[in-house]
């Protein structure tokens, strides 16, 4: 039988994704940490579960919440190669709480679950801003691409990493939308949409006009090597408040399965969209 749970109390205390545990709860949470995670007293523990799971009315359905350990760095600037999803396993965030800016370093393996009822003991010590919350959600809640898809381009992984590193200044995110997440047999192609998200500050001017064409050529050339000869749909773009997005569509050719509305960030290694 489903047990009643005072989820309203958790919500009123201010618990949500990105909430930071105070010293009392952090001490209790450390007792649940696996032996593989070493927690320092100066570390931050951040709730990474979705808001709807944190305040779920049923303790039976959602008995635990996930926390992530974040260490405080000595510097005040983030490493560009560890920010904006460029690394599939680590992330650095510039956080400014109580006018005391710090740089947090997170690792995907330093997370574990704690009983959700512990959150009833006190309010969070603070909460990350929406931007940092979104980065953590994207970074640590990930889905895998089909293995059959990964195997078709894994041999060129180093070339992909070099391409991302070369253009990292111009890229905010790289997304791949697939026609299906099924494991297709060899010879049955996937239909994919590759989306390059460009920071808003980089858009505009003659330099961007040239770079836009260059990005399109280089990324299309990389992915064209994996498809059979076929005519490509011309590249197009859409604009949104956060920046500009380049979209290239390749038909490899269209599989029989209907397209699914599913997209994921494509990281710098096969098998793990970020």
Categorize the per-residue pLDDT at 122 as very low, low, confident or very high, splitting at 50, 70 and 90: very high
Residue 139 has a pLDDT of: 55
In the predicted model, what is the mean pLDDT of residues 8-25? 92
pLDDT greater than 60 at residue 241: no
- Return the domain boundaries, the chain: 7-140, 147-265
Residue 204 Cα distances to 1, 126, 167, 192, angstroms: 59, 37, 17, 28
Would you call the peptide bond into 253 cis, given omega within 30 degrees of 0 as the criterion?
yes
Least confident span in 33-37, 43-47, 188-192, 239-243:
239-243
Q: Which residues contact 22 (CB under 8 A, 6 or more apart)?
A: 122, 123, 124, 125
Strands (E), the chain: 19-20, 44-47, 64-72, 90-97, 100-115, 126-127, 173-178, 192-199, 233-240, 243-250, 263-265
Categorize the per-residue pLDDT at 67 as very low, low, confident or very high, splitting at 50, 70 and 90: very high
Categorize the per-residue pLDDT at 272 as very low, low, confident or very high, splitting at 50, 70 and 90: very low
Residue 77 has a pLDDT of: 73
Give the Cα separation of 262 and 182 in Å (integer). Answer: 12
In the predicted model, what is the mean pLDDT of residues 58-66? 90
DSSP letter (8 states) at residue 79:
-
Q: What pTM was estimated for this model as a whole?
A: 0.53
Give the Cα separation of 238 and 246 in Å (integer). Answer: 7
Per-residue pLDDT tens over the stretch 136-188: 776 555 455 777 787 788 788 889 889 998 998 888 888 888 888 788 888 78
Residue 232 has a pLDDT of: 41
In the predicted model, what is the mean pLDDT of residues 63-88? 75
Categorize the per-residue pLDDT at 194 as very low, low, confident or very high, splitting at 50, 70 and 90: confident
pLDDT greater than 50 at residue 92: yes
DSSP three-state, residue 136: helix
Which residue did the predictor score with more confidence, 215 or 91?
Answer: 215
Token pair recorded at residue 30: 């450390």
Closest CA to 175 of 190, 194, 159, 191: 194
Residue 83 has a pLDDT of: 62
For tokens 């704690």, name the residue: 114
Token pair recorded at residue 189: 């192609």
Token pair recorded at residue 50: 């979705």
Residue 143 has a pLDDT of: 52
Categorize the per-residue pLDDT at 257 as very low, low, confident or very high, splitting at 50, 70 and 90: very low
The percent of residues above 70 in pLDDT, for the chain, comes to: 73
**Mean model confidence pLDDT for the chain:** 75
Per DSSP, what are the bridge partners of residue 197? 173, 245
Closest CA to 5 of 54, 66, 69: 54
């Amino acid at each position: 039988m489903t047990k009643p749970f005072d989820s309203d109390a958790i919500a009123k205390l201010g618990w949500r994704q990105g909430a930071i545990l105070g010293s009392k709860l952090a001490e209790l949470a450390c007792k649940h940490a696996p032996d593989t995670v070493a927690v320092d007293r100066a570390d931050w523990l951040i709730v990474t579960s979705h808001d709807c799971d944190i305040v779920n009315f049923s303790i039976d359905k959602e008995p635990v919440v996930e926390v992530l350990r974040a260490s405080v760095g000595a510097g005040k600037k983030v490493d560009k190669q560890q920010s904006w999803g460029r690394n599939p396993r680590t992330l650095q965030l510039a956080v400014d709480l109580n006018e005391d800016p710090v740089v947090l370093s997170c690792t995907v393996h330093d997370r574990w679950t704690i009983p959700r009822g512990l959150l009833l003991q006190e309010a969070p010590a603070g909460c990350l801003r929406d931007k940092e919350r979104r980065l953590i959600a994207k970074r640590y809640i990930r889905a895998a691409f089909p293995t059959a898809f990964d195997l078709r381009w894994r041999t060129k992984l180093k070339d992909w990493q070099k391409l991302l590193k070369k253009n990292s200044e111009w890229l905010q995110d790289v997304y791949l939308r697939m026609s299906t997440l099924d494991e297709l047999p060899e010879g049955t192609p996937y239909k994919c949409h590759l989306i390059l998200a460009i920071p808003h500050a980089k858009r505009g001017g003659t330099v961007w006009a040239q770079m836009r064409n260059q990005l399109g050529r280089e990324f299309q050339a990389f992915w064209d090597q994996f498809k059979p000869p076929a005519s490509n749909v011309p590249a197009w773009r859409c604009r949104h408040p956060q920046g500009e997005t380049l979209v290239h569509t390749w038909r490899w050719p269209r599989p029989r399965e209907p397209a699914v509305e599913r997209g994921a960030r494509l990281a710098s290694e096969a098998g793990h969209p970020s």
